[in-house]
Chains A and B, each alone.
Chain A
Amino acid sequence: MDDLYRELILDHYQHPHNHGEIPGADISVEDSNPLCGDKIRIDLKLQGDTVVDVKFNGKGCAISQASASMLTDEIIGKTLDEIKTLDKQFVLEMLGIPLGPSRIKCALLPLKVIKVGVYGVGANPDEDEDES
Chain B
Amino acid sequence: MTQPGLNISAIREDFPILQQTVHGKPLVYLDSAATSQKPETVIRAFDTYYRTINANIHRGVYTLAEEATAQYEGARKKIQKFINAKSFREMIYTRNTTEALNLVAQTWGRANIRAGDEIVSTLLEHHSNIVPWQMLAQEKGATLNFIEVDAQGQLLPEQIASVITARTKLVAITMMSNVAGTITPIDAIIARAHAVGAVVVVDGAQSVPHMPVDVQALDCDFLAFSGHKMLGPFIGVLYGKRALLEAMPPFLGGGDMIREVHRDHSKWNELPWKFEAGTPSVAEGIVMGAAIDYLSGLGMANVRAHERELVAYALEKFAAVDGVRIVGPLDPDARGGVIAFEIPEAHPHDIAQIFDREGICVRAGHHCAMPLHEHYGLAATTRASFYIYNTPDEVDRLIATLKKVREIFKTQ
Query: Considering the chains assembled together, what is the distance between the CA atoms of A67 and B379 in angstroms?
Result: 19
Contacts of A121 in B (CB 8 A): none
Q: Quick check: is B212 within 8 A (CB to CB) of the other chain?
A: no
Q: Quick check: is A37 within 8 A (CB to CB) of the other chain?
A: yes
Given contacts A4-B353, A5-B354, contact A37 B380 (CB under 8 A): yes
CB-based nearest B residue for A15: B412
CB-based nearest B residue for A65: B347
Query: Considering the chains assembled together, what is the distance between the CA atoms of A4 and B357 in angstroms?
Result: 10
Contacts of A4 in B (CB 8 A): 353
Name the contact of A36 in the complex, choosing from B346, B357, B379, B411 (C-beta under 8 A): B379
Q: Is the CB of B366 within 8 A of A36?
A: yes
Contacts of B366 in A (CB 8 A): 36-37
Q: Is the CB of A5 within 8 A of B350?
A: yes
Contacts of B373 in A (CB 8 A): 37
Q: Quick check: is A61 within 8 A (CB to CB) of the other chain?
A: yes
Q: What's the nearest-Cβ distance from chain A to residue B257, in Å?
A: 35
Q: Quick check: is A91 within 8 A (CB to CB) of the other chain?
A: no
Q: Quick check: is A59 within 8 A (CB to CB) of the other chain?
A: yes
Given contacts A10-B409, A11-B412, contact A61 B347 (CB under 8 A): yes
Name the contact of B365 in the complex, choosing from A5, A35, A60 (C-beta under 8 A): A35
Q: Is the CB of A36 within 8 A of B364?
A: yes
Contacts of B348 in A (CB 8 A): 36, 61
Contact with A along B317-346 (1 / 0, CB 8 A): 000000000000000000000000000001
Query: Considering the chains assembled together, what is the distance between the CA atoms of A118 and B364 in angstroms?
Result: 31
Q: Is the CB of A36 within 8 A of B380?
A: yes
Name the contact of B411 in the complex, choosing from A14, A38, A106 (C-beta under 8 A): A14
Within residues 27 to 70 of chain A, which ones have a CB less than 8 A from any CB in chain B? Answer: 35-39, 59-63
Contacts of B349 in A (CB 8 A): 35-36, 38, 60-63, 103, 106
Interface-centre pick from B350, B366, B380, B411 (highest chain A CB count, 10 A): B350
Q: Is the CB of A2 within 8 A of B380?
A: no
Contact with B along A58-97 (1 / 0, CB 8 A): 0111110000000000000000000000000000000000
Q: Is the CB of A2 within 8 A of B364?
A: no
Given contacts A36-B348, A36-B379, contact A1 B408 (CB under 8 A): yes
Q: Is the CB of A37 within 8 A of B379?
A: yes
Q: What's the nearest-Cβ distance from chain B to residue A52, in Å?
A: 30
Q: Is the CB of A10 within 8 A of B408?
A: yes
Query: Considering the chains assembled together, what is the distance between the CA atoms of A60 and B409 in angstroms?
Result: 14
Given contacts A36-B364, A60-B347, contact A14 B380 (CB under 8 A): no
Contacts of A59 in B (CB 8 A): 347, 379
Name the contact of A38 in the complex, choosing from B346, B370, B380, B408 (C-beta under 8 A): B380
Name the contact of B408 in the complex, choosing from A2, A11, A36, A37 (C-beta under 8 A): A2
Contact with A along B378-412 (1 / 0, CB 8 A): 01100000000000000000000000000011011
Contacts of B411 in A (CB 8 A): 14
Q: Is the CB of A62 within 8 A of B370?
A: no
Contacts of A103 in B (CB 8 A): 349, 353
Q: What's the nearest-Cβ distance from chain B to residue A10, in Å?
A: 7
CB-based nearest B residue for A4: B353
Q: Is the CB of B347 within 8 A of A62?
A: yes
Q: What's the nearest-Cβ distance from chain A to residue B171, in Å?
A: 27
Q: Which residues of B contact A (CB under 8 A)?
A: 346-350, 353-354, 357, 364-366, 370, 373, 379-380, 408-409, 411-412
User: Which 6 residue pairs are nearest across A and B when measured between Cβ atoms?
Assistant: A61-B349, A61-B347, A36-B365, A62-B350, A36-B380, A61-B350
A-B contacts, 12 of them at CB < 8 A, read A2-B408, A5-B350, A5-B408, A36-B349, A37-B365, A38-B379, A39-B379, A60-B347, A60-B349, A61-B349, A62-B409, A106-B349
**Seed contacts A5-B350, A60-B347; 13 additional CB < 8 Å A-B pairs:** A2-B354, A5-B409, A10-B409, A36-B364, A36-B365, A36-B366, A38-B347, A38-B379, A59-B379, A61-B348, A62-B350, A63-B350, A103-B353
